[in-house]
Amino acid sequence: MSLKLRVASVALLMSLSTAAAVAADCPAKSTQMDDIVAAINAAPGCDAAMTVFGACESGASGDVQLGTAVEKKCEGDLLSRLTTPQKHAYQRDMDVCDRKYRNKSGTMYLSATAFCRAQIAQRYAHKTRK
C-alpha cells in the first residue's frame, strides 16, 4: 500500500469518526435539519442555542439555516434594547461576516459565515445583558 493511500485512508477514518462523534453530541431528536432547528428554538437562551449549533453543525451550507435560527434566538429582544448607533455597529459587524468569505468557493465558507454571524449576535446579546 502506498504512503499516499495510507494517509488518505487514515484521514477518511478520522473524518468519519469525528462526524459520528459530533452527531452523538447533538441534542436534537435526529440529525435532520428541522429537528436541529427545533432544538435551537427550544433552547432556553442564546448561549444554549449556540451550544446546540456547535454540537450539530455540518460544516457545510446547511449551517446557514442553523445560524439564522441562532441569530433570531439571540436577537430576541436584543434589537429593541440597542441604541441607533449600536444597531448600526451591529449591522456593520454582520456585514463584515458576510464579506469575509464572499469570494471563497465551497460550502464550508457558507458555514463559516453562519458561525461568524451567530457569534456576533451572541456577543451583542452578552453586551446588552450587562
30-70 per-position pLDDT tens digit: 999 999 999 999 999 999 999 999 999 999 999 999 999 99
Q: Distance between CA atoms of 124 and 71, rounded to whole angstroms?
A: 10
Tell me what the mean pLDDT of segment 18-40 comes to. 79
Task: Give 78 or 98, the one with higher predicted confidence.
Answer: 98
Instruction: Give the pLDDT score at 39.
Output: 97
When divided into structural domains, the chain yields a total of: 1
- Residue with C-alpha cell 432547528? 37
Domain that residue 19 falls in: 3-129
pTM of the predicted structure, to 2 decimals: 0.79
pLDDT at 129: 81
| Angle, alpha carbons 75-78-84 (nearest 5°) | 115
Q: What is the per-residue pLDDT for 47?
A: 95
- Residue 29 near residue 35, CB atoms below 8 Å: yes
d(CA 112, CA 56): 14
Q: What pLDDT is stored for residue 24 in this prediction?
A: 57
Backbone angles phi, psi at 103, to 5 degrees: -95, 15
Contacts 24+ apart (CB under 8 A), 105-113: 107/59, 107/60, 107/61, 108/59, 108/60, 110/60, 110/61, 110/63, 110/64, 111/57, 111/58, 111/59, 111/60, 111/61, 111/62, 111/63, 111/64, 113/64, 113/67
Q: Look at the chain and count its residues.
A: 130
pLDDT bracket for residue 86 (50, 70, 90): very high
pLDDT computed for residue 78 by the predictor: 87
- pLDDT at site 15: 43
Looking at per-residue pLDDT, the higher value among 17 and 92 belongs to 92
